[in-house]
Amino acid sequence: MRQIWAGLLTLILLTVMAPVTHAHNLSTTAMFTRTGNELTVRLSDVYAAAVEGGRGAVSTAPPGGRQGAKAALTEVEPGAYRGTMTPPGTETFEILVEITVMNELFRGGLAVRADEELTNKPVIMVPVDRPLQHSVWGQAAFGAAALVLIAATVVALKRQRNAQDEEG
């Protein structure tokens, strides 16, 4: 019975520590729609549900060049963010989007021609860990909990095998 409790307590500790140690609990995909300098980003999760309540920004950059000034993306309806970007004046450029949802930063981008209109162009939004966002102590605790789980499992299996040998 002790082995079960040790395993359960370790599992609970791992579950509690997971958000602290780089565990992303959200995957997002965006659909970009561009009309002129206006960009609408529809953000959805893996179940195609709208991802609401985020804060975002859009910027542009010429190929291989520096990112321009960021413009705010405002949520205009659930999961839809709209803003006005300033193209760099080159024939092609990149649209760069950052959206923060539930304290997680997501980035996505797309190369376009200056005259190209977009209608629901899918873009994968990649989760980005901010430097120093997560504590080293949290990672150490997560690692220690994993070691405890492994050690408790090994001990429990040995005891179970010894008990079966004594009975048999």
Give 139-155 pLDDT, tens digit per residue. 677 777 778 888 888 88
Per-10-residue mean pLDDT for the chain, 168 residues long? 59 54 64 95 92 94 90 95 93 95 90 94 86 60 79 85 82
Domain residue ranges of the chain, discontinuous segments joined by +:
2-21+134-167, 28-128
pTM of the model: 0.63
Cα(29)–Cα(42) distance, integer angstroms: 8
- Match 């405890």 to its residue by tokens: 148
28-128: CATH number: 2.60.40
Instruction: Specify the amino acid at residue 167.
Output: E
Cα–Cα separations (whole angstroms), residue 18 to 12, 104, 106, 136, 153: 10, 14, 19, 13, 20
